[in-house]
A and B are shown apart, each in its own frame.
Chain A
Amino acid sequence: QAVLTQPSSLSASPGASASLTCTLRSGINVGTYRIYWYQQKPGSPPQYLLRYKSDSDKQQGSGVPSRFSGSKDASANAGILLISGLQSEDEADYYCMIAHNSAWVFGGGTKLTVL
């Protein structure tokens, strides 16, 4: 079982909100980790969006709009990236990451389609 699991794709309409999940493997407690989120568009490197551990331990990437926000669902052992007011330019691949045992571990990515 992968350490981090993301749905492979998600579709949402312009103006709507999209909730992207990053589920941690059983036995790895989401409460322990900062969850990092990245956006990648075709032909470009990943861009840092934000990190979230708790409401008192979070960071927005430089220049990242406030409509991108992070949270957790402890019951689902998952990190969440919420994108509100979806725009066509938000169409991209989104990756979550944690620092686990001195390594970075990435989720498989979610392809967000805005249509």
Chain B
Amino acid sequence: EVQLVESGGGLVQPGESLRLSCAASRFTFGTYTMSWVRQTPGKGLEWVANTKQDGSEKNYVDSVKGRFTISRDNAKNLLYLQMNSLRVEDTAVYYCASFDNWGQGTLVTVSS
């Protein structure tokens, strides 16, 4: 069974940084476009960023452009999201996902 396991979430203050990781197993990681999707508790899904199979193309939702960076290491089956200059409105559960497989999510809380 495919496993995507996120880590790195936590409580930070506005303006601080976090790096999320997603470890993929039993999954042909390098053949998939991978995304980060977030969900505020009780709310809907918001796509944050994606990276194509070889990492050559990266796309971001406007609200995180210039603050977040997505990257991947296909040799290690790892996906990352570097989040800088975090804002209160970035508070959410962050999911690592291909179109057909999602991780359990990691909670990021930005609060003073």
**Residues of chain A whose beta carbon lies under 8 Å from any beta carbon of chain B:** 36, 38, 45-48, 51, 61-62, 95, 97, 102-109
Q: At the interface with chain A, which of B22-30, B66-74, B84-92, B102-110?
A: B102-110
**How many residues of chain B get a CB closer than 8 Å to chain A's CBs?**
19
Choose one: A36, A51, A95, A104; the contact of B50 (CB below 8 Å): A104
Chain A residues whose CB sits within 8 angstroms of the CB of B111 once the complex forms: none
Q: Which of B22-56 contact A (CB under 8 A)?
A: 35, 37, 44-47, 50
A45 touches which one: B61, B95, B100 (CB < 8 A)? B95
Interface of A is mostly: strand
Within 8 Å by CB of A108, from B37, B44, B102, lies: B44
B13 to chain A, nearest CB (A): 27
Question: Taking beta carbons and an 8 Å cutoff, which residues of B are in contact with A?
Answer: 35, 37, 44-47, 50, 57, 59, 61, 95, 97, 99-105
Cα A105 to Cα B102 in complex, Å, equals 16
Contact: A106 with B47, CB < 8 Å?
yes
